[in-house]
Structure 1
Amino acid sequence: MNFLVFGIILIEFCSAWRCTREKARIKELFRENEELKIERDQLAAGQDCTIYFDEIEEIKDENDKLNLKLELKEEEIRGLKLENEKLRGKLEDASPICTMEPTETEIETETSNGRLFVNFLVIPDYYDSSYLIKEDGSTSAATISAPTHDFTDDVKHALVKGQLYIFGGSSDNKKIARLDGCRFNELSARLNKNRRFGTETLSINSGSLALICFGYGDKSCETFDGTTAVTTFSATWTHSYGGLGIYRNQPATVGCSDARHKKAETLSSTGWSDLPDFSKRIYSHSIVGLDNESMLLFGGNISINWQTGIWQLKNDQWNKIGELAKSATAGSAFYSGRSIYYFGFSSTQRIDLNAEEELEKVELIGEPPKYSSYPVLFATTPDFCV
């Protein structure tokens, strides 16, 4: 019994001692926790740590300043890029400020028979062979530049508001470029269709627009006003290498290389309509509209044969009125001062008309220094880009 009582007392003692010890340990943990809180508060608010935190804040402020400067610099760069794009757009739309458009007296010289001769810049398939042609048929090299070596290959050209533009070609079938001074610069404006083989171009609306049409199997047309190319009426027939000229103050075209038909059409404000068929299946010819509202057709191919015939459409009747001095094809023509200057693939000829625009004579001026199909023509001064 005594042992039992002793055991119970011992157990109670040990339990009390263990409880006291655990309570002490808990108190110690609370104390350490309070000290840790105090140390934390001291770290947050103490004098020594404040200096450290101040340094961190200074570094943070400096970093914020650098980030702000970087953002401002990026904003400045974006602004400069935007300004650059605006200036580029203005450059494309503006007339060249480094050159002045030559006057008629500057681009024309009087020949021995009193007739005016136009001085031409002629740009063949590859612009590095460009040349100037004078009244006596003599030529001199002209220095023209462009972004790529084939920039003027297979292009067609037209004047818009007195400036020379080229369209399509082998380097880029949808490109539009302008001659600024002595260099071709490509515009951001683009053609709506691919234009290369068989494309035809013409200045219309008193030179305020260019009409660009056709291609192999392509009847489509579009206009360009110096800024934007806009789709217009498609022809009824295909007219690849069918030429574009003016008949009765409206654009007209004749024949085709791929379809080989005899069809002729004219474009009005309501679309294309038929003109009298030509007598032959012809292509690669040139067409020029006269002030008397008739139209001349000359050169070109019938089958594989180069032609000499000069034909006139007048009062809706086709008549052969003369012959070229030499058979020719794939040429470019320019009408000025009652003379048509015809730059064929391998010859340069002048078709002279009288005051009533009747055929007077045809003269062979000479051979070009480089044979070329459909060269780009620009009436200019005799010393242009020398």
Structure 2
Amino acid sequence: MRSGPKIICDFCLKTCPPKIGCHNSCYENYTQILFLCPCIEQESDVFILVIPFSVDKSYLQSGDGSSQISATINAPENNYADYAAYALVNGKLHIFGGYYDGTKIARLDDCTLNELTVRLNDQRYSGHAALSIENGKKAIICFGYSGEVRKTCEIFDGSTTVLSFASDSTHRRGGLGLYKNQPTSVGCYSEKHQKAETLSPTGWISLPNHPKRISGHSLVGLENQSLLLIGGQDWGNGGVSQSGILQLKDENWNKIGELLQADFQGSAIYIGRSIYYFGYVSKAIERLDFNEETEDLQTVELMEIKQAIT
């Protein structure tokens, strides 16, 4: 009986056409079955769409690790999302730049990546980052592979792009995250520095240096206005992978925890009071849980993928 509804849900998802509405309908039916049969353990209500370098390897990951289900994403080429940056704009996932085309902007409609006519102003093949701003109405896209592009930024509102302030320091692979509700970047793969900067209404402002010469980390802003830096590479120590979880709060850096597996160039997303970190090297998925009131880190768990369905 425990596996019955899960099998029904999985079969439903596998038979869906590439339409997100079908997937949503499957989960609605699954939730109703669980409600009508309380003897069944409640499954996760969090599902994360993961689009790796190869689009045909995309999958839906449940927040509790109970399932990993293949997702069909249509794209012009299988490497279409390779090294692209991601952000939500007006409730839609957008990807920016990347190896396939450094100036492209594409939007995920249902299960298809549709390229828009609007382009980025600068070539951003890799090393760049994107971040939702202004309550998801816009995205800021910054940095890149070489030269002055490692400092430049532009803002996308869903239909147009405009140049914004350039940072004072380069931030290739320095990421973007919100600190005190302002876009912030830390470190650089090229120049291997420790510098942190935040974008104010009048330009970029220096923040306290990170303790290490860091890059390839993930930046996540919390609701308490602090910024977390997860993983990365320490270029003061030969580029060794990092496991540290550091917090910038009240203009001070403090280590608050450790990943269970060191990693860099991973991806992180904050949902509810949990950060899901997807490792690039280890391929591990780790969940960082925070308490409800103050967003203090409580636990770090290596998620066991209990069921993979292709």
TM-score strictly above 0.5 = yes
| Higher RCO structure, 1 or 2 (CA under 8 Å, sep 6+) | 1
Question: Is 2:300 aligned against 1:362?
Answer: yes
Amino acid of the structure 1 residue aligned with 2:167: A
Could you tell me how far apart the structure 2 residues matched to 1:99 and 1:348 are?
27
Question: Is 2:168 aligned against 1:236?
Answer: yes
Partner of 1:269: 201
Could you tell me how far apart the structure 1 residues matched to 2:304 and 2:107 are?
29
> Which whole-Å deviations, capped at 9, do the CAs of 1:65-116 have from their partners, x for residues lacking one?
xxxxxxxxxxxxxxxxxxxxxxxxxxxxxxxx9849969x96xx99x99996
What are the residue-to-residue correspondences of 1:270-349 with 2, within 5 Å? 270-303=202-235, 304-345=239-280, 346-349=283-286
> Which whole-Å deviations, capped at 9, do the CAs of 1:325-384 have from their partners, x for residues lacking one?
111111111111111111121211111001210010001114799xxxxxxxxxxxxx9x
Larger radius of gyration: 1
Answer yes or no: is the 8 Å Cα contact 2:47–2:60 preserved in 1: yes
Partner of 1:134: 62
Partner of 2:98: 169
Match of 2:49 among 106, 121, 138: 121
Could you tell me how far apart the structure 1 residues matched to 2:23 and 2:134 are?
20
Secondary structure of 2:276 counterpart: strand
The alpha-carbon distance between structure 1 residues 263 and 367, as it changes in their structure 2 partners (threshold 3 A), is: farther
Shift of 1:318: 0.5
Could you tell me how far apart the structure 1 residues matched to 2:249 and 2:44 are?
26
Secondary structure of 2:86 counterpart: strand
Could you tell me how far apart the structure 1 residues matched to 2:89 and 2:265 are?
23
Shift of 1:215: 1.0
Amino acid of the structure 1 residue aligned with 2:102: N
Q: Percent identity?
A: 51
Question: Is 2:153 aligned against 1:221?
Answer: yes
Could you tell me how far apart the structure 1 residues matched to 2:20 and 2:243 are?
42
Could you tell me how far apart the structure 2 residues matched to 1:368 and 1:286 are?
26
Could you tell me how far apart the structure 1 residues matched to 2:302 and 2:23 are?
29
Could you tell me how far apart the structure 2 residues matched to 1:165 and 1:294 are?
25
Shift of 1:162: 0.5
Could you tell me how far apart the structure 1 residues matched to 2:105 and 2:201 are?
25
The alpha-carbon distance between structure 1 residues 114 and 290, as it changes in their structure 2 partners (threshold 3 A), is: farther
> Which whole-Å deviations, capped at 9, do the CAs of 1:24-50 have from their partners, x for residues lacking one?
xxxxxxxxxxxxxxxxxxxxxxxxxxx
Answer yes or no: is the 8 Å Cα contact 1:349–1:366 preserved in 2: no
Could you tell me how far apart the structure 2 residues matched to 1:286 and 1:115 are?
28
Shift of 1:207: 0.5
Question: Is 2:214 aligned against 1:248?
Answer: no
TM-score of the superposed pair, with normalisation by structure 2: 0.81
Answer yes or no: is the 8 Å Cα contact 2:184–2:198 preserved in 1: yes
Answer yes or no: is the 8 Å Cα contact 2:43–2:64 preserved in 1: no
Secondary structure of 2:56 counterpart: helix
Partner of 1:71: none
Could you tell me how far apart the structure 2 residues matched to 1:98 and 1:114 are?
23
Aligned residues: 272
| Gap regions ≥5 residues in structure 1 | 1-96, 370-382
Answer yes or no: is the 8 Å Cα contact 2:44–2:64 preserved in 1: no
Structure ranking higher in helix proportion: 1
> Which whole-Å deviations, capped at 9, do the CAs of 1:300-338 have from their partners, x for residues lacking one?
111321111010111001001110111111111111111
Could you tell me how far apart the structure 1 residues matched to 2:285 and 2:270 are?
14
TM-score of the superposed pair, with normalisation by structure 1: 0.66
Answer yes or no: is the 8 Å Cα contact 2:20–2:111 preserved in 1: no
Partner of 1:156: 85
> Which whole-Å deviations, capped at 9, do the CAs of 1:132-186 have from their partners, x for residues lacking one?
1124423121111111222111111100010000011111110000111111110
The alpha-carbon distance between structure 1 residues 362 and 115, as it changes in their structure 2 partners (threshold 3 A), is: farther
